[in-house]
Amino acid sequence: MINRFVIVMMLVMLSSMASAGTPQNKIAWHELSADERQVLQPFEGKWNGLPPGQQMRLRKGAKRWKHLAPSQRKRLKQRFERWQALNPAQRRQLRNRFKRFKQLDPGEQQIVKERYRWFNHLPEERRRQLRGQWENMTPAERQRFKQKRRRMEKMTPDQRRALRQHRNTR
């Protein structure tokens, strides 16, 4: 039961990531393929009452789910369980961050993704240490850090290396 619930919620998340497109006519439950009915089974009782756009998104999510590798399904289930554990304020904060991310230009999005990968490849203890340092900064200190980071990004790798060497010799 919980496994099916997790699958359904993952479908909802996947469907929300799918492009909305233009809503088509409603699709009756009996018109769905056997595979779609199996994955979407928790929606059976209310399927015919769902708006066409939501039906379409759920169908797309079901199709994606069906083609995911078991490891991808497992990862999505874990992400959904973490999402479920968040309180409403934390969810709102993540939604707002996602919205701001989507408003960035592709180059800025790429930088954010690279930083995220870099951070997640750090040892757990180092990540904890960096989070603690960030959380202990005042808003003014955080602002100065961000400004410094932006200046560093404009430098070439050789300029950054020289600056680090200069700081280490002081």
Phi, psi of 120, rounded to the nearest 5 degrees: -70, -15
Where are the domains positioned within the chain? 2-85, 103-169
Nearest Cα residue to 5 out of 35, 42, 34: 42
Residue 151: predicted pLDDT: 87
- CA quadruple 162, 168, 169, 170: dihedral, nearest 10: 110
**What six digits make up the tokens of 131?**
């989070």
Contact between 36 and 62 under an 8 Å Cβ cutoff? The reply is yes
Residue 167: predicted pLDDT: 82
CA distance 125 to 108: 28
**From first to last of its 170 residues, what are the pLDDT tens digits of the chain?**
445 555 656 656 655 554 444 446 888 999 999 988 988 888 899 999 999 999 998 999 888 888 889 999 899 889 888 988 999 999 999 999 999 999 999 999 998 999 999 999 999 999 999 999 999 999 999 999 989 888 888 889 898 888 888 888 87
Residue 14: predicted pLDDT: 59
Residue 74: predicted pLDDT: 92
Residue 39: predicted pLDDT: 85
